[in-house]
Amino acid sequence: MARAGLTAESVTRAAADLADTVGFENLTVSALARSLRVKDPSLYSHIRSLQDLRERVALLAAGELADRIAAAVAGRAGFEALAAFADAYREYALACPGRYAATQIPLAPAVLAASAAYARTVELTHAMLRAYRLSEPDLTDAGRLLRSAFHGYVTLEANGGFSHSRDVRASWERALLALHTLLENWPTDPSPHAADGGEP
Amino acid sequence: MARAGLTAESVTRAAADLADTVGFENLTVSALARSLRVKDPSLYSHIRSLQDLRERVALLAAGELADRIAAAVAGRAGFEALAAFADAYREYALACPGRYAATQIPLAPAVLAASAAYARTVELTHAMLRAYRLSEPDLTDAGRLLRSAFHGYVTLEANGGFSHSRDVRASWERALLALHTLLENWPTDPSPHAADGGEP
DNA sequence: CTACGCTTCCTAGAGATACTAGGCAACAGC
DNA sequence: GCTGTTGCCTAGTATCTCTAGGAAGCGTAG
Protein backbone atom coordinates (compact mmCIF):
# COMPACT_ATOMS: atom_id res chain seq x y z
CA MET A 1 0.00 0.00 0.00
CA ALA A 2 1.31 3.43 -0.95
CA ARG A 3 2.56 5.38 2.04
CA ALA A 4 1.00 8.68 2.89
CA GLY A 5 4.28 10.25 3.98
CA LEU A 6 3.05 11.57 7.29
CA THR A 7 5.23 13.11 9.95
CA ALA A 8 4.41 14.43 13.40
CA GLU A 9 4.63 17.96 11.96
CA SER A 10 2.38 17.36 8.96
CA VAL A 11 -0.14 15.57 11.16
CA THR A 12 -0.14 18.49 13.60
CA ARG A 13 -0.64 21.02 10.81
CA ALA A 14 -3.50 18.97 9.38
CA ALA A 15 -5.02 18.76 12.85
CA ALA A 16 -4.79 22.53 13.24
CA ASP A 17 -6.48 23.06 9.87
CA LEU A 18 -9.19 20.61 10.78
CA ALA A 19 -9.72 22.33 14.13
CA ASP A 20 -10.14 25.66 12.36
CA THR A 21 -12.76 24.09 10.12
CA VAL A 22 -14.83 22.00 12.52
CA GLY A 23 -13.94 23.57 15.87
CA PHE A 24 -11.26 22.51 18.31
CA GLU A 25 -13.67 20.48 20.45
CA ASN A 26 -14.58 18.44 17.35
CA LEU A 27 -10.98 17.61 16.57
CA THR A 28 -10.89 13.80 16.81
CA VAL A 29 -8.35 11.22 15.76
CA SER A 30 -10.97 9.58 13.56
CA ALA A 31 -11.87 12.77 11.73
CA LEU A 32 -8.21 13.64 11.29
CA ALA A 33 -7.47 10.17 9.90
CA ARG A 34 -10.37 10.53 7.46
CA SER A 35 -9.14 13.91 6.28
CA LEU A 36 -5.69 12.40 5.67
CA ARG A 37 -7.11 9.32 3.88
CA VAL A 38 -5.58 7.05 6.47
CA LYS A 39 -6.88 4.65 9.12
CA ASP A 40 -7.09 5.77 12.73
CA PRO A 41 -4.29 3.59 14.15
CA SER A 42 -1.83 4.92 11.57
CA LEU A 43 -1.76 8.24 13.35
CA TYR A 44 -0.53 6.68 16.57
CA SER A 45 2.88 6.23 14.98
CA HIS A 46 3.17 10.02 15.02
CA ILE A 47 1.16 11.09 18.06
CA ARG A 48 0.87 9.41 21.42
CA SER A 49 -2.76 10.19 22.12
CA LEU A 50 -5.54 12.64 21.40
CA GLN A 51 -4.33 14.72 24.33
CA ASP A 52 -0.85 14.75 22.83
CA LEU A 53 -2.26 15.85 19.48
CA ARG A 54 -4.14 18.70 21.15
CA GLU A 55 -1.02 19.85 22.94
CA ARG A 56 0.95 19.82 19.69
CA VAL A 57 -1.69 21.98 18.06
CA ALA A 58 -1.59 24.29 21.07
CA LEU A 59 2.17 24.74 20.82
CA LEU A 60 1.98 25.23 17.04
CA ALA A 61 -0.71 27.87 17.44
CA ALA A 62 1.03 29.65 20.30
CA GLY A 63 4.14 29.94 18.15
CA GLU A 64 2.20 31.25 15.16
CA LEU A 65 0.39 33.77 17.33
CA ALA A 66 3.63 35.00 18.88
CA ASP A 67 5.16 35.34 15.38
CA ARG A 68 2.27 37.45 14.16
CA ILE A 69 2.32 39.66 17.23
CA ALA A 70 6.08 40.10 16.96
CA ALA A 71 5.77 41.13 13.30
CA ALA A 72 2.94 43.53 14.12
CA VAL A 73 4.65 45.39 16.96
CA ALA A 74 8.09 45.54 15.30
CA GLY A 75 9.19 49.16 15.03
CA ARG A 76 6.15 50.55 16.81
CA ALA A 77 5.68 52.03 20.27
CA GLY A 78 2.97 53.49 22.47
CA PHE A 79 -0.57 53.34 21.18
CA GLU A 80 0.56 52.14 17.76
CA ALA A 81 2.24 49.13 19.31
CA LEU A 82 -0.75 48.47 21.56
CA ALA A 83 -3.18 48.58 18.65
CA ALA A 84 -0.92 46.46 16.43
CA PHE A 85 -0.52 43.87 19.18
CA ALA A 86 -4.23 43.77 19.89
CA ASP A 87 -5.31 43.65 16.26
CA ALA A 88 -2.85 40.87 15.47
CA TYR A 89 -4.15 38.96 18.48
CA ARG A 90 -7.81 39.43 17.59
CA GLU A 91 -7.36 38.71 13.90
CA TYR A 92 -5.53 35.49 14.61
CA ALA A 93 -8.24 34.37 17.02
CA LEU A 94 -11.02 35.15 14.56
CA ALA A 95 -9.23 33.79 11.47
CA CYS A 96 -8.01 30.61 13.18
CA PRO A 97 -10.61 29.83 15.84
CA GLY A 98 -9.57 26.20 16.24
CA ARG A 99 -5.90 27.04 16.63
CA TYR A 100 -6.73 29.86 19.04
CA ALA A 101 -8.96 27.63 21.15
CA ALA A 102 -6.08 25.17 21.33
CA THR A 103 -3.86 27.79 22.95
CA GLN A 104 -6.29 27.95 25.87
CA ILE A 105 -6.08 24.36 27.04
CA PRO A 106 -4.26 23.88 30.33
CA LEU A 107 -0.77 22.53 29.72
CA ALA A 108 1.44 20.68 32.16
CA PRO A 109 4.06 23.04 33.61
CA ALA A 110 6.78 20.82 32.13
CA VAL A 111 5.31 21.11 28.62
CA LEU A 112 4.89 24.83 29.08
CA ALA A 113 8.43 25.33 30.25
CA ALA A 114 9.83 23.27 27.39
CA SER A 115 8.27 25.53 24.78
CA ALA A 116 9.21 29.14 24.20
CA ALA A 117 5.98 30.07 22.45
CA TYR A 118 3.93 30.95 25.51
CA ALA A 119 6.73 32.78 27.26
CA ARG A 120 7.30 34.77 24.08
CA THR A 121 3.77 36.18 24.15
CA VAL A 122 4.25 37.31 27.73
CA GLU A 123 7.60 38.87 26.82
CA LEU A 124 6.08 40.65 23.84
CA THR A 125 3.42 42.07 26.12
CA HIS A 126 6.06 43.36 28.49
CA ALA A 127 8.13 44.79 25.66
CA MET A 128 5.11 46.64 24.32
CA LEU A 129 4.39 47.99 27.79
CA ARG A 130 7.88 49.43 28.22
CA ALA A 131 6.80 52.59 26.40
CA TYR A 132 4.36 53.26 29.24
CA ARG A 133 7.24 53.34 31.71
CA LEU A 134 5.81 50.90 34.22
CA SER A 135 8.01 48.99 36.61
CA GLU A 136 7.35 45.78 38.51
CA PRO A 137 4.97 44.71 39.81
CA ASP A 138 2.86 47.12 37.77
CA LEU A 139 4.33 45.69 34.60
CA THR A 140 3.08 42.21 35.42
CA ASP A 141 -0.27 43.50 36.63
CA ALA A 142 -0.83 45.57 33.52
CA GLY A 143 0.30 42.71 31.29
CA ARG A 144 -2.15 40.36 32.94
CA LEU A 145 -4.96 42.84 32.57
CA LEU A 146 -4.17 43.41 28.92
CA ARG A 147 -3.98 39.74 28.04
CA SER A 148 -7.18 39.16 30.00
CA ALA A 149 -8.98 41.90 28.10
CA PHE A 150 -7.78 40.65 24.71
CA HIS A 151 -8.54 37.04 25.45
CA GLY A 152 -11.87 37.80 27.05
CA TYR A 153 -12.96 40.04 24.24
CA VAL A 154 -12.19 37.64 21.40
CA THR A 155 -13.69 34.64 23.17
CA LEU A 156 -16.87 36.48 24.07
CA GLU A 157 -17.04 37.79 20.52
CA ALA A 158 -16.45 34.35 19.01
CA ASN A 159 -19.04 32.72 21.28
CA GLY A 160 -21.73 35.26 20.50
CA GLY A 161 -21.48 36.98 23.88
CA PHE A 162 -22.01 40.41 22.36
CA SER A 163 -25.62 40.42 21.30
CA HIS A 164 -26.17 44.17 21.47
CA SER A 165 -26.62 45.93 18.15
CA ARG A 166 -23.51 48.07 18.68
CA ASP A 167 -20.81 47.18 16.12
CA VAL A 168 -18.30 44.80 17.70
CA ARG A 169 -15.36 46.21 15.75
CA ALA A 170 -16.17 49.76 16.86
CA SER A 171 -16.34 48.65 20.49
CA TRP A 172 -12.95 47.02 20.04
CA GLU A 173 -11.41 50.25 18.72
CA ARG A 174 -12.78 52.15 21.68
CA ALA A 175 -11.58 49.49 24.08
CA LEU A 176 -8.03 49.83 22.72
CA LEU A 177 -8.19 53.58 23.14
CA ALA A 178 -9.48 53.10 26.67
CA LEU A 179 -6.70 50.66 27.52
CA HIS A 180 -4.19 53.15 26.19
CA THR A 181 -5.65 55.78 28.50
CA LEU A 182 -5.57 53.27 31.32
CA LEU A 183 -1.88 52.53 30.80
CA GLU A 184 -0.99 56.20 30.67
CA ASN A 185 -2.83 56.81 33.96
CA TRP A 186 -1.87 53.56 35.67
CA PRO A 187 -2.50 54.03 39.40
CA THR A 188 0.97 53.30 40.66
CA ASP A 189 0.63 54.50 44.25
CA PRO A 190 -0.65 52.09 46.90
CA SER A 191 -4.38 52.54 46.67
CA PRO A 192 -6.28 55.17 48.73
CA HIS A 193 -8.51 52.66 50.54
CA ALA A 194 -7.19 49.68 52.47
CA ALA A 195 -8.55 46.79 50.42
CA ASP A 196 -6.93 44.15 52.53
CA GLY A 197 -6.28 46.14 55.65
CA GLY A 198 -3.37 46.08 58.01
CA GLU A 199 -3.36 42.84 60.00
CA PRO A 200 0.17 41.89 61.01
CA MET B 1 -37.26 -1.43 40.89
CA ALA B 2 -37.39 1.56 43.20
CA ARG B 3 -37.61 4.83 41.35
CA ALA B 4 -34.89 7.39 41.78
CA GLY B 5 -37.27 10.36 41.64
CA LEU B 6 -35.39 12.31 39.04
CA THR B 7 -36.63 15.48 37.40
CA ALA B 8 -35.10 17.67 34.72
CA GLU B 9 -34.12 20.12 37.46
CA SER B 10 -32.52 17.60 39.78
CA VAL B 11 -30.65 16.05 36.87
CA THR B 12 -29.38 19.48 35.82
CA ARG B 13 -28.23 20.30 39.34
CA ALA B 14 -26.45 16.96 39.62
CA ALA B 15 -24.82 17.62 36.25
CA ALA B 16 -23.63 21.03 37.44
CA ASP B 17 -22.16 19.51 40.60
CA LEU B 18 -20.46 16.81 38.58
CA ALA B 19 -19.07 19.41 36.18
CA ASP B 20 -17.61 21.34 39.10
CA THR B 21 -15.94 18.17 40.31
CA VAL B 22 -14.56 16.62 37.13
CA GLY B 23 -14.55 19.61 34.77
CA PHE B 24 -17.20 20.68 32.32
CA GLU B 25 -15.51 18.95 29.39
CA ASN B 26 -15.69 15.66 31.31
CA LEU B 27 -19.41 15.98 31.96
CA THR B 28 -20.83 12.91 30.20
CA VAL B 29 -24.20 11.22 30.28
CA SER B 30 -22.56 8.01 31.46
CA ALA B 31 -20.73 9.65 34.34
CA LEU B 32 -23.85 11.53 35.36
CA ALA B 33 -25.91 8.33 35.30
CA ARG B 34 -23.29 6.60 37.45
CA SER B 35 -23.30 9.44 39.98
CA LEU B 36 -27.11 9.18 40.17
CA ARG B 37 -27.04 5.34 40.50
CA VAL B 38 -29.09 5.03 37.33
CA LYS B 39 -28.53 3.60 33.84
CA ASP B 40 -27.63 5.91 30.99
CA PRO B 41 -30.90 5.66 29.03
CA SER B 42 -32.92 6.66 32.08
CA LEU B 43 -31.62 10.20 31.79
CA TYR B 44 -33.06 10.61 28.33
CA SER B 45 -36.52 10.86 29.85
CA HIS B 46 -35.42 14.18 31.34
CA ILE B 47 -32.90 15.54 28.85
CA ARG B 48 -32.94 15.38 25.08
CA SER B 49 -29.22 14.97 24.50
CA LEU B 50 -25.82 15.74 25.96
CA GLN B 51 -25.95 19.10 24.20
CA ASP B 52 -29.30 19.79 25.84
CA LEU B 53 -27.87 18.85 29.24
CA ARG B 54 -24.95 21.23 28.74
CA GLU B 55 -27.28 24.06 27.81
CA ARG B 56 -29.40 23.44 30.89
CA VAL B 57 -26.30 23.63 33.07
CA ALA B 58 -25.29 26.83 31.26
CA LEU B 59 -28.63 28.47 31.96
CA LEU B 60 -28.61 27.30 35.58
CA ALA B 61 -25.12 28.68 36.09
CA ALA B 62 -25.85 31.97 34.32
CA GLY B 63 -28.80 32.47 36.65
CA GLU B 64 -26.77 31.66 39.75
CA LEU B 65 -24.00 33.99 38.65
CA ALA B 66 -26.43 36.82 37.98
CA ASP B 67 -28.00 36.26 41.41
CA ARG B 68 -24.66 36.48 43.16
CA ILE B 69 -23.66 39.59 41.26
CA ALA B 70 -27.00 41.23 41.99
CA ALA B 71 -26.64 40.49 45.69
CA ALA B 72 -23.09 41.81 45.69
CA VAL B 73 -23.76 45.14 44.00
CA ALA B 74 -27.02 45.85 45.83
CA GLY B 75 -26.76 49.18 47.64
CA ARG B 76 -23.28 49.96 46.34
CA ALA B 77 -22.03 52.43 43.75
CA GLY B 78 -18.80 53.55 42.14
CA PHE B 79 -15.67 51.60 42.97
CA GLU B 80 -17.45 49.64 45.69
CA ALA B 81 -19.97 48.35 43.17
CA LEU B 82 -17.26 47.61 40.62
CA ALA B 83 -15.19 45.64 43.13
CA ALA B 84 -18.23 43.80 44.47
CA PHE B 85 -19.32 42.87 40.94
CA ALA B 86 -15.86 41.73 39.96
CA ASP B 87 -15.20 39.77 43.14
CA ALA B 88 -18.56 38.02 42.94
CA TYR B 89 -17.79 37.14 39.31
CA ARG B 90 -14.31 35.83 40.04
CA GLU B 91 -15.29 33.94 43.15
CA TYR B 92 -18.10 32.17 41.35
CA ALA B 93 -15.81 31.22 38.49
CA LEU B 94 -13.15 29.85 40.85
CA ALA B 95 -15.56 28.14 43.25
CA CYS B 96 -17.71 26.61 40.51
CA PRO B 97 -15.36 26.06 37.56
CA GLY B 98 -17.61 23.56 35.82
CA ARG B 99 -20.67 25.78 36.10
CA TYR B 100 -18.69 28.80 34.97
CA ALA B 101 -17.25 26.96 31.97
CA ALA B 102 -20.81 26.02 31.03
CA THR B 103 -21.79 29.67 30.78
CA GLN B 104 -19.22 30.10 28.00
CA ILE B 105 -20.61 27.62 25.50
CA PRO B 106 -22.20 29.22 22.44
CA LEU B 107 -25.98 29.13 22.72
CA ALA B 108 -28.51 29.35 19.92
CA PRO B 109 -29.95 32.89 19.77
CA ALA B 110 -33.39 31.44 20.44
CA VAL B 111 -32.24 29.72 23.64
CA LEU B 112 -30.43 32.86 24.69
CA ALA B 113 -33.44 35.06 24.09
CA ALA B 114 -35.73 32.69 25.97
CA SER B 115 -33.68 32.96 29.15
CA ALA B 116 -33.30 36.10 31.19
CA ALA B 117 -30.10 34.98 32.93
CA TYR B 118 -27.63 36.23 30.34
CA ALA B 119 -29.43 39.49 29.70
CA ARG B 120 -29.50 40.08 33.44
CA THR B 121 -25.71 40.01 33.67
CA VAL B 122 -25.46 42.58 30.90
CA GLU B 123 -28.06 44.74 32.64
CA LEU B 124 -26.24 44.47 35.94
CA THR B 125 -23.08 45.61 34.23
CA HIS B 126 -24.87 48.62 32.79
CA ALA B 127 -26.49 49.42 36.12
CA MET B 128 -23.14 49.32 37.85
CA LEU B 129 -21.69 51.62 35.19
CA ARG B 130 -24.39 54.25 35.64
CA ALA B 131 -22.42 55.76 38.51
CA TYR B 132 -19.68 56.61 36.02
CA ARG B 133 -22.13 58.71 34.00
CA LEU B 134 -21.46 57.14 30.63
CA SER B 135 -24.00 57.30 27.84
CA GLU B 136 -24.38 55.14 24.76
CA PRO B 137 -22.44 53.90 22.95
CA ASP B 138 -19.77 54.33 25.64
CA LEU B 139 -21.92 52.38 28.06
CA THR B 140 -21.97 49.34 25.81
CA ASP B 141 -18.29 49.69 24.95
CA ALA B 142 -17.26 49.97 28.58
CA GLY B 143 -19.53 47.10 29.55
CA ARG B 144 -17.99 44.88 26.89
CA LEU B 145 -14.50 45.76 28.00
CA LEU B 146 -15.33 45.07 31.63
CA ARG B 147 -16.91 41.72 30.95
CA SER B 148 -14.00 40.83 28.67
CA ALA B 149 -11.49 41.70 31.34
CA PHE B 150 -13.33 39.74 34.03
CA HIS B 151 -13.90 36.72 31.84
CA GLY B 152 -10.40 36.76 30.42
CA TYR B 153 -8.80 37.12 33.81
CA VAL B 154 -10.61 34.26 35.48
CA THR B 155 -10.19 31.88 32.55
CA LEU B 156 -6.48 32.63 32.23
CA GLU B 157 -6.14 32.25 35.99
CA ALA B 158 -8.07 28.98 36.04
CA ASN B 159 -6.08 27.55 33.12
CA GLY B 160 -2.73 28.38 34.63
CA GLY B 161 -2.05 31.25 32.25
CA PHE B 162 -0.42 33.34 34.98
CA SER B 163 2.83 31.59 35.68
CA HIS B 164 4.72 34.61 36.99
CA SER B 165 5.48 34.58 40.70
CA ARG B 166 3.44 37.75 41.32
CA ASP B 167 0.38 37.01 43.48
CA VAL B 168 -2.67 36.57 41.28
CA ARG B 169 -5.04 38.07 43.82
CA ALA B 170 -2.90 41.19 44.17
CA SER B 171 -2.84 41.64 40.39
CA TRP B 172 -6.61 41.36 40.40
CA GLU B 173 -6.95 44.11 43.01
CA ARG B 174 -4.71 46.40 40.99
CA ALA B 175 -6.61 45.61 37.81
CA LEU B 176 -9.88 46.63 39.46
CA LEU B 177 -8.35 49.87 40.62
CA ALA B 178 -7.00 50.52 37.15
CA LEU B 179 -10.39 49.83 35.60
CA HIS B 180 -12.01 52.20 38.07
CA THR B 181 -9.56 54.93 37.10
CA LEU B 182 -10.27 54.18 33.46
CA LEU B 183 -14.03 54.47 33.89
CA GLU B 184 -13.61 57.82 35.62
CA ASN B 185 -11.47 59.07 32.73
CA TRP B 186 -13.27 57.27 29.91
CA PRO B 187 -12.14 58.82 26.60
CA THR B 188 -15.53 59.96 25.43
CA ASP B 189 -14.55 62.39 22.64
CA PRO B 190 -14.31 60.99 19.12
CA SER B 191 -10.75 59.79 19.12
CA PRO B 192 -7.83 61.90 17.86
CA HIS B 193 -7.22 59.62 14.88
CA ALA B 194 -10.08 58.93 12.51
CA ALA B 195 -10.76 55.26 13.16
CA ASP B 196 -13.83 55.05 10.98
CA GLY B 197 -13.87 58.55 9.59
CA GLY B 198 -16.71 60.84 8.65
CA GLU B 199 -18.63 59.37 5.73
CA PRO B 200 -22.12 60.89 5.45
C1' DC C 1 20.17 -6.65 -7.60
C1' DT C 2 19.06 -9.15 -3.62
C1' DA C 3 18.70 -9.47 1.37
C1' DC C 4 18.06 -7.12 5.65
C1' DG C 5 16.00 -4.04 8.83
C1' DC C 6 13.40 -0.05 10.01
C1' DT C 7 9.47 2.43 9.61
C1' DT C 8 4.77 3.13 8.03
C1' DC C 9 0.51 1.70 7.50
C1' DC C 10 -2.75 -1.93 7.96
C1' DT C 11 -6.53 -5.37 10.12
C1' DA C 12 -8.70 -6.98 14.30
C1' DG C 13 -10.47 -6.03 18.46
C1' DA C 14 -11.42 -4.22 23.39
C1' DG C 15 -13.55 -0.68 26.11
C1' DA C 16 -16.19 3.62 26.52
C1' DT C 17 -19.76 6.73 25.09
C1' DA C 18 -24.25 8.81 22.89
C1' DC C 19 -28.41 7.53 21.81
C1' DT C 20 -32.83 4.53 20.22
C1' DA C 21 -36.43 0.93 20.61
C1' DG C 22 -39.26 -1.37 23.21
C1' DG C 23 -40.74 -3.61 27.73
C1' DC C 24 -42.07 -3.86 32.58
C1' DA C 25 -43.22 -2.13 36.79
C1' DA C 26 -44.16 1.73 40.11
C1' DC C 27 -47.12 5.36 41.31
C1' DA C 28 -51.70 8.49 40.82
C1' DG C 29 -56.47 8.86 40.29
C1' DC C 30 -60.61 6.49 40.35
C1' DG D 1 -58.13 -3.11 43.22
C1' DC D 2 -57.89 -1.36 38.32
C1' DT D 3 -56.09 1.53 34.78
C1' DG D 4 -53.19 4.80 32.56
C1' DT D 5 -49.16 7.32 32.67
C1' DT D 6 -44.60 7.73 33.60
C1' DG D 7 -39.87 6.26 34.90
C1' DC D 8 -36.46 3.20 34.69
C1' DC D 9 -34.88 -0.87 32.62
C1' DT D 10 -32.48 -4.33 29.00
C1' DA D 11 -30.80 -4.82 24.42
C1' DG D 12 -28.59 -3.07 20.72
C1' DT D 13 -26.24 0.29 17.13
C1' DA D 14 -22.81 3.56 15.80
C1' DT D 15 -18.77 6.26 16.84
C1' DC D 16 -14.53 7.06 19.10
C1' DT D 17 -9.85 6.09 21.54
C1' DC D 18 -6.30 3.17 21.73
C1' DT D 19 -3.50 -1.57 21.63
C1' DA D 20 -1.55 -5.78 19.51
C1' DG D 21 0.39 -7.72 15.96
C1' DG D 22 1.20 -8.33 10.87
C1' DA D 23 2.59 -6.97 6.12
C1' DA D 24 4.47 -4.05 2.82
C1' DG D 25 7.23 -0.02 1.33
C1' DC D 26 11.89 2.14 1.64
C1' DG D 27 16.99 2.73 2.43
C1' DT D 28 21.20 0.40 2.73
C1' DA D 29 24.93 -3.21 2.57
C1' DG D 30 26.70 -6.76 0.47
Rounded Cα distance between A108 and B15, Å, is 27
Question: Residues A161-170: what's their mean pLDDT?
Answer: 88
Q: Distance between alpha carbon B81 and the CA centroid of its chain, in Å?
A: 17
What's the pLDDT at B1? 57
A173 neighbourhood in chain B, CB within 8 Å: 191, 195-196
Tens-place pLDDT, residues A111-138: 888 889 999 999 999 999 999 999 889 9
Which of A23, A24, A43 lies closest to A33 in space, CA to CA? A43
Please tell me which of the candidates A136, A149, A185 has its beta carbon nearest to residue B149. Answer: A149
Closest CA to B66 of B103, B134, B120, B25: B120
Q: Which residue has the higher pLDDT, A160 or A141?
A: A141
Those nucleotides of strand C lying less than 7 Å from any protein Cβ are: 7-13, 16-22, 25-27
Question: Nearest Cα to A32, choosing from A106, A94, A98?
Answer: A98
- Residue B65: pLDDT over 90: yes
Model confidence band, residue B174 (pLDDT cutoffs 50, 70, 90): very high
Looking at residue B91, its pLDDT comes to 97
Determine the Cα–Cα distance for residues A9 and A47; give it in Å rounded to an integer.
10
**What part of B 25-64 touches A (C-beta under 8 Å)?**
25
DSSP labels for B162-181? --SSS-HHHHHHHHHHHHHH
The shortest CB-CB distance from A177 to any of B79, B161, B187 is to: B187
Q: Is the Cα torsion angle B39, B44, B46, B52 positive or negative in sign? A: positive
> B135 in contact with A at a CB cutoff of 8 Å?
no
Domains recognised in chain B with CATH numbers: 57-184 (1.10.357.10)
pLDDT for A190 equals: 61
Q: Report the pLDDT averaged over residues A193-198.
A: 39
Q: Average pLDDT over chain A, rounded to whole?
A: 90
Is residue A5's beta carbon less than 7 angstroms from any atom in nucleic acid strand D? no
